[in-house]
Structure 1
Amino acid sequence: MLSTLNLSVFGTFHTLLALVAVAAGIIDLSRRGEIGSGTRPGLTYILFTAATAITGLFIFRHGGFGAPHMLAIATLAVLAVAWAAERRARAATGLSRYVAVLGYSLTLFFHLIPGLTETGTRVPLGSPAFSGPEDPMLKALVGAGFLVYLAGAAVQAARIRRTRREVAPA
């Protein structure tokens, strides 16, 4: 099966890390409306997303250093900023809270890009859904995913704003 999908053992390991991360992120997001290190699914998401990004730096399926590697670096940077902001935002108020919540959600969107690209260029076997990373349909789906992220980010920001009003002294 792995050879049929053109996945190495390392690539399979990387993919499994990503699948665990995405599942944990979706669980935390659906339960609490956000991803954060204070829950088991949230912490699992953060750690497995970092591991996915790090292992992704060692995969060169499309040649040398390229867009997937830049996305991995961007993911690690956003995770670091969100993690630092979360540590600072324990009181559920201030800009740090927005940075943490929206940053972690942004990294979930980042998972969508290689997930769609790598799956869609391999499946269905023999006639993949996308011709490659530049396929217009793939770009449209990633664009739609970004719109979903923006809508979700607006909902999260409104919830934080509501919480800030409830916490603020009268």
Structure 2
Amino acid sequence: MFYGLTQLGVVHTAISLLAVAAGIVAFFRYKQITLATRAGQVYLWTTVLTCLTGFGIFQHGGFGKPHVLGIATLVVLGIAVLAGRSRAFGKASAYVEVVSYSLTFFFHMIPGVTETFTRVPLGSPVFANADDPGLQKVIGPIFILFLIGAFLQVRRLRAANRLAVAATGELSP
């Protein structure tokens, strides 16, 4: 076992790291996660696999908060895909898509930070367990970063929409 991980845990962690890397590439290269890019496609499928492999991990005894987070992630991914591939949310579809994908990226950070800092440094981890109040002091600022990023993405989409209206006289989808 590697840092107390089962074989499934190692596979799950590797897939989740690929998802996070794809998300970071999408944010920096395209300013958002979207299925229109290879990075977005990799992000989607590795996030789905991360959730599915996570359902088989019961290190903390039975079905728990991490499994609920996996279900929430899959639901929000479904909403993002629906918003990106249809007009189900009307004029707000592009905004729903970008914020939903960003929210799933934030969801990745919760177990990522929790599992990392309750395992390392080996033998003397930063936090004792997933319920350590100190973790909230780390997750809170990450949530603030999510909110700032979502705001900036929505602002960028609005600006692009205004430019499209000015250029064509029509509201872009």
Partner of residue 20, structure 2: 22
CA apart distance, 1:166: 1.3
Which amino acid in structure 1 is aligned with residue 143 of structure 2? Answer: F
Residue 35 in 1 paired to residue 41 in 2?
Answer: no
Q: Superposition pairs for residues 1-170 of structure 1, below 5 Å?
A: 3-88=1-86, 94-168=91-165, 169=169
How far apart are the structure 1 equivalents of 2:49 and 2:79? Answer: 16
Q: TM-score, normalised by structure 1?
A: 0.94
Structure 2: give runs of 5+ residues left out of the alignment.
none
Q: Matches of 2:20 and 2:73 in 1, distance apart?
A: 13
Task: Give me the TM-score of the superposition, normalised by structure 2.
Answer: 0.92
Identity of aligned residues (%): 47
Counterpart Cα distance in 2 of 1:33 and 1:8: 35
**Amino acid across the alignment from 2:23:** G
Whole-angstrom CA distance in 2 between matches of 1:11 and 1:160? 38
Checking the alignment, whether the CA contact within 8 Å between 2:2 and 2:10 is kept in structure 1 is no
Deviation, structure 1 residue 54:
1.0
Q: Are the counterparts in 1 of residues 23 and 39 from structure 2 also a CA contact under 8 Å?
A: yes
Post-superposition offset of 1:4: 4.9
Given residue 87 of structure 1, which amino acid in structure 2 is its aligned partner? R
After superposition, the C-alpha distances for 1:113-148 in whole angstroms (9 at most, x for unaligned) are: 000111111100000011111212211111110000
Coordinate RMSD, CA, aligned: 1.2
Shift of 1:32: 1.0
**Deviating 4+ runs (over 6 angstroms):** none
Secondary structure of the residue aligned to 1:94 is helix
Alpha-carbon distance between aligned partners in 1 of 2:104 and 2:2, rounded to the nearest angstrom: 29
* Distance across 1 between alignment mates of 2:52 and 2:95: 25
How far is 1:42 from its partner? 0.9
Letter in 1 for 2:28: S
Shift of 1:38: 1.0
For 2:129 and 2:54, the matched residues in 1 are separated by 18
1:89-121 superposed Cα distances (whole Å, 9 cap, x missing partner): 5xxx82000010110011000000000111111
How many positions carry a matched residue from both structures? 165
